[in-house]
A and B are shown apart, each in its own frame.
Chain A
Amino acid sequence: MQFRNHRIVGDIIELARRYGQEGADELVFYDITASPDGRTVDRSWVSRVASVLDIPFCVAGGIRSIADAEDVLNKGADKISINSPALENPGLITELAKRFGSQCVVLGVDSRDENGGYFVYQYTGDPDRTEAARRTTVEWVTEAQDRGAGEVVLNCMNQDGVRKGYDCTQLAAVRAVCQVPLIASGGAGAQQHFLDVFRIADVDGALAASVFHSAEIPIPDLKQFLDDNGIHVRTCT
């Protein structure tokens, strides 16, 4: 087990280094090892990532308190992202923003399109626990901003993992109420999908995982494609 964990960490360090060199603008690490039952988690991997990475990175998962956030930020992360704990206790957003500044407090939202209405889901990390949070996505994003969230990552669950493109309609609806940076998540399968989401939903960033991990879409190619199509991006040198 120990060996296996070390190997996985080694993998993410190498992957982080590779993405940094390839021209990714920011990395998000979803810490799925973070224990939901409140046991102490080993976050030494955050320091190791910070030591090799020279672009901003965000840690998502397992942050339930000021102390958790402080630990992650002191180890060199630039931002922390909270999702279910914020739904359980919206005051956590306010506290984190007051203590560390809005610029490092990211709200992660898992949202599902149900008959044209958008609703927030929580505990999406565990299929057995996933449940509707009984909030509309637009209401939740509005409240979180008022509480001091400095960025929103909107993961559109209907699209997630199917690689048919971002949910531009939903993202555009959230964009209309979101004055802080909005990052699209869920559905990227082709370069055109990135162009579409920037053009149609006017998002500030587009997040993807599998198409980058598999190198199916090389980041330098994607950035060149976006630049050629008039989207301002930091092109790789």
Chain B
Amino acid sequence: MSIAIIDSGGANIASLLYAFQRLSTPAELTTDTRVIQAADRVILPGVGAARDAMDRLRAADLIDTIRGLKQPVLGICLGMQLLTDASEEEDVECLGIIPGTATKLPSSVTCPVPNMGWCATRSERQHPIMAGIADGSYFYYLHSYALPVSENTIGTAEHAEMFSAVIGKDNFVAAQFHPERSSAAGAQLLSNFLGLA
């Protein structure tokens, strides 16, 4: 099985590459349209700001490529937000594949932003991406923006307010947390993604 990880910039790609090595299915970091289109699975990661990431995808001429993908695609963290209509962060228009707009997490003394750390994640509806993962499992989060709960929500978590932890529409799924840093539950999710029909 071939896995293409879209290089949307940022420094934290190594841990994602290692996560797939641990699953014995090495992934390739790329911005090559042909490699991405031909891959069995595509990952859209992302760290940093939404505008920078969208600019990089545009510069690499990948906007329409990603919109047209038919194989299973997994957005991670900022990559999840990029799949939606827009982000309130600098009012950026995103890929528009999954409806919704990422909004800033509300900040409070007990819930500082960014939300960094392990959060219990509830399952809201059945989906093969969450197969074998106990309801309420903890995943590792690192974010300042999040998607509100919608009809595409698969799982939720809470940081002052409830937000979408996992979403899915057609062949696109996405997680706000970092599965590559979420221990056994995260490995299970990545493995489920590889097993999607």
Contacts and interface: CB of A to CB of B under 8 A. Distances in A.
B56 to A, nearest CB: 16
Q: Which of A25, A50, A56 has the most CB of B within 10 A?
A: A56
Given A55-B183, A234-B118, A101 B47 contact: yes
Place the interface of chain A in its size category. 20 to 34
A78 B19 CA distance: 14
Given A73-B12, A179-B109, A234-B138, A54 B180 contact: yes
A25 B119 CA distance: 11
Grouping DSSP codes into helix (H, G, I), strand (E, B) and loop, the B interface class, with mixed when no group exceeds half, is mixed
Given A76-B14, A100-B11, A54 B181 contact: yes
B183 A54 contact: yes
A155 B191 CA distance: 39
A100 B11 CA distance: 8
B15 A76 contact: yes
Contacts of B138: 234
A102 interface: yes
A181 B82 CA distance: 27
Q: Which of A101, A150, A179 has the most CB of B within 10 A?
A: A101
A181 B15 contact: no
A201 to B, nearest CB: 15
Nearest to A54: B183
A103 interface: yes
B131 interface: no
A150 B19 CA distance: 25
A56 B11 contact: no
A74 interface: yes
B112 A179 contact: yes
B114 interface: yes
A237 B184 contact: yes
Contacts of B140: 55-56
Contacts of B114: 102-103, 150
A74 to B, nearest CB: 5
B38 interface: no
A94 B12 CA distance: 20
A234 B181 CA distance: 14
Nearest to B119: A234
Contacts of A159: none
A47 B109 contact: no
A204 B109 CA distance: 12
B2 to A, nearest CB: 20
B63 interface: no
A150 B117 CA distance: 12
A150 B116 contact: yes
A70 interface: yes
Nearest to A55: B183
B187 interface: yes
Contacts of A28: none
B143 to A, nearest CB: 9
Contact of B48 (A20, A54, A101, A234): A101
A56 B142 CA distance: 11
A51 B18 CA distance: 5
Contacts of B11: 70, 73-74, 100
Interface string A63-104: 000000010011110100000000000000000000011110
B182 interface: yes
Interface in B120-170: 120, 134, 137-138, 140, 142
Contacts of A102: 114
13 contacts: A25-B117, A50-B14, A50-B18, A51-B22, A54-B184, A55-B140, A76-B12, A78-B142, A101-B47, A101-B48, A204-B117, A232-B120, A234-B138
Given A51-B22, A54-B181, A74-B14, 14 more contacts: A23-B183, A25-B117, A50-B14, A50-B15, A54-B22, A54-B187, A55-B140, A56-B181, A78-B142, A100-B11, A103-B114, A181-B116, A237-B134, A237-B184
